[in-house]
Amino acid sequence: MSDAKSYLGVPVLRPRVGFFELTSCEGCQLQLLNNEATLLDFLDLVEIVNFREGMKESGDNYRIAFVEGAVTRADEVERLREIRRNAEMVIALGSCACFGGVNQLKNRFNDPAWVKREVYGEYPIDSQAAVPLAAVIKVDLEIFGCPVKKEEVERIVTNLVLGKEVKHPKYPVCMECKAHENICLFDLGEPCLGPITRGGCDAWCPSNRLGCWGCRGPAPEANVDELRKIVARKNIPLERLLDRLECFGGFGGEADAVRKELGGLK
């Protein structure tokens, strides 16, 4: 901990935090640095001791660890376990850390050796099936999205610093889309996972006329059967729905069911 701050007259300590990346594009970390309007206020909430994306100094005396990326190599397993040993709280940052993200698309081929040959040829490289952080260590909190929404990260960090409970929305993206009075993309012939995907992104993609791809994972009590009925009623091919269900890894079970229905299509 560092110098004490105050909130409504109550002393608040700035926790030491570290940001780390495994197999990822590092876009979730970049989101935080891109938020110039509130970056200084955000930095005043915490004391960052490790953040390769934004500083040269590094340390392992952090209380909270934000980890971006999927686990795809043996050395990442060991690194993640070391982070877990050092941190009081580990937060999975983004879709790759929460579900495997786009990295897990290679898993559907069920032949890691073939995937390695196709991508890297004979070049020796360690590349295993992509898994989320929770498959390796205990994760205390998840922040969804690809990339994460910087305003949401700031809200969650503020709650953590103040000792307030962190609550994720239970409603689907459709609720936010309706609030913006958007035209339903199904009416435009575009598949969308908005009816079953957890909200909190402020309908980021649908508001820009791009159907939801489910990067935030399933909303509680997601009604996949009803989504299937909408897709059929709009004459959207089931293959297009499958593309979205399997993209980020949050709908693995649903994607497997659709793939089986399509005869094991890969």
Per the CB < 8 A criterion, the answer to whether 195 and 174 are in contact is yes
Q: For residue 143, give the nearest of 28, 246, 45, 247 by alpha carbon.
A: 28
User: Averaged over 140-159, what is the pLDDT?
Assistant: 94
> Residue 110: its pLDDT value, please?
82
Backbone φ, ψ for residue 97 (5° rounding): -70, -35
Per the CB < 8 A criterion, the answer to whether 103 and 130 are in contact is yes
User: Averaged over 23-37, what is the pLDDT?
Assistant: 90
| Confidence (pTM) | 0.91
Token readout for 45 is 């909430």
Backbone φ, ψ for residue 11 (5° rounding): -60, 135
Run of H or E including 91: strand 89-93
Domain with CATH 3.40.50.700 in the chain: 4-162
> Residue 11: its pLDDT value, please?
67
> Residue 265: its pLDDT value, please?
56
User: Averaged over 66-92, what is the pLDDT?
Assistant: 97
User: Averaged over 122-151, what is the pLDDT?
Assistant: 95
User: Averaged over 137-156, what is the pLDDT?
Assistant: 95
User: Quick one: pLDDT band at residue 35, thresholds 50, 70, 90?
Assistant: confident
User: Quick one: pLDDT band at residue 144, thresholds 50, 70, 90?
Assistant: very high
> Residue 186: its pLDDT value, please?
95
Length in residues, the chain: 266
Pick the CATH number of 4-162 from 2.60.40.1180, 3.40.50.720, 2.40.50.140, 3.40.50.700: 3.40.50.700
pLDDT in tens, 212-238: 999 999 999 999 999 999 999 999 999
